[in-house]
Structure 1
Amino acid sequence: MHILSESERTYWLALASLPAIGARRFHSIIEHFGSPQAAWLAPEKDWDGVAGMSLSRWQKTLQYRRKDYLSSFLERIYYGGIEALTLQDERYPELLRSIPDPPPVLYMKGQIQERDKVNIAIVGTRKATPYGEKVCSQLTEELVQQERTIVSGLARGIDAIAHRTALEKGGRTIAVLACGLDKIYPKAHEALAAAITERGALISEYPPGSPAEPGKFPARNRIISGLSQGVLVIEAGEKSGALITADQALEQGREVFAVPGPITSSQSKGTHRLIQQGAKLVTSIEDILSEVQIQFNFLAKPKQEIDLEPNEKKLLSHLDWEGKTIDQLIHCTGLKGPEIAVLLTHLEMKGMIKSLPGGGHFVSLL
Structure 2
Amino acid sequence: MTQLRYWLALHHTPYLGPMGTQALLALIEKPSDLFENLEAIAKQINFKAKSLAYLRNPDWATIESELAWATQKNNHILAIDQPAYPALLKEIPDPPVLLYLRGDPACLHTPQIAMVGSRNPSASGRETAYDFARYLANQNITITSGLALGIDFESHRGALAGKGKTIAVTATGLDRVYPARHKEIAHEIADTGGILLSEYPLGTSPRRENFPRRNRINSGLSLGTLVVEAAKQSGSLITARYAGEQGREVFAIPGSIHNPLAKGCHALIRQGAKLVEKAEHILEELGAIAQFENTYTDDPSNNDQQTTDTVDSGILDHIGFEPTTIDSVIERSGLTPEAVSSMLVVLELQGYVESLPGGTYSRTH
Q: Which residue in 1 is equivalent to 2:68? A: 75
Tell me, in whole angstroms, the C-alpha distance in 2 between the residues paired with 1:167 and 1:100.
31
Q: Which residue of 2 aligns with 1:40?
A: 35
| SS of 1:113 mapped into structure 2 | helix
Instruction: Give distance in 2, aligned partners of 1:65 and 1:115.
Output: 30
Could you say what secondary structure the match of 1:160 adopts? Answer: helix
Q: Which runs of 4+ in 1 moved over 6 A?
A: 314-317
| Candidates 150, 169, 184, aligned match of 1:157 | 150
What are structure 2's unaligned runs of at least 5 residues? 291-303, 314-349, 354-362
2:88 paired with 1:89: no
Aligned ranges 1:294-309 → 2 under 5 Å: none
1:194 aligned onto 2:187: yes
Change (3 A) 1:365 1:40: same
**Take 2:221 and 2:180, find their aligned partners in 1: how far apart are those partners?**
24
**In structure 2, what is the equivalent of residue 147 of structure 1?**
140
Whole-Å Cα distance in 2 between the matches of residues 229 and 160 of structure 1?
A: 20
Cα separation, 1, equivalents of 2:267 and 2:312: 29
CA distance in 2, matches of 1:30, 1:193: 34
Match of 2:11 in 1: 16
Deviation at 1:73, TM superposition (A): 3.6
Q: How does 1:97-246 map to 2 (within 5 A)?
A: 97-113=90-106, 116-199=109-192, 200-246=194-240
Report the structure number with the largest CA radius of gyration: 1
Q: TM-score, normalised by structure 1?
A: 0.75
Task: Count how many residue pairs are aligned between Structure 1 and Structure 2.
Answer: 306
**Secondary structure at the counterpart of residue 256 of structure 1:** strand
Work out whether residues 15 and 40 of structure 1, in 8 Å CA contact, stay in contact via their aligned partners in 2. no
Larger RCO of the pair (alpha carbons < 8 Å, separation 6+)? 2
Local SS of the residue matching 1:102: coil
**Counterpart amino acid of 1:178?**
A
Once the two structures are TM-superposed, the CA of residue 321 in structure 1 deviates from its matched residue by 2.1
2:21 is aligned with 1:26: yes
**RMSD of aligned C-alpha atoms?**
3.0
Q: Percent identity?
A: 38
Is the contact between residue 225 and residue 240 of structure 2 (CA under 8 Å) also seen in structure 1?
yes
Give a deviation string over 1:105-140, Cα, whole Å, max 9, x none.
111000033695222111101001111012112211
| Structure 2 residue matching 1:8: 3-state secondary structure | helix
Offset at residue 265 of structure 1 (A):
1.8
CA contact 1:47–1:58 (8 Å) conserved in 2 = no
Question: Shift of residue 317 of structure 1?
Answer: 6.4
Alignment of 1:284-295 (within 5 A): 284-293=278-287
- Calculate the TM-score normalised by the size of structure 2: 0.75
The one-letter code of the counterpart of 1:16 is H
Identify which of 65, 71, 88 aligns with 2:58. 65
Cα separation, partners in 2 of 1:115 and 1:219, compared to 1, 3 Å: closer
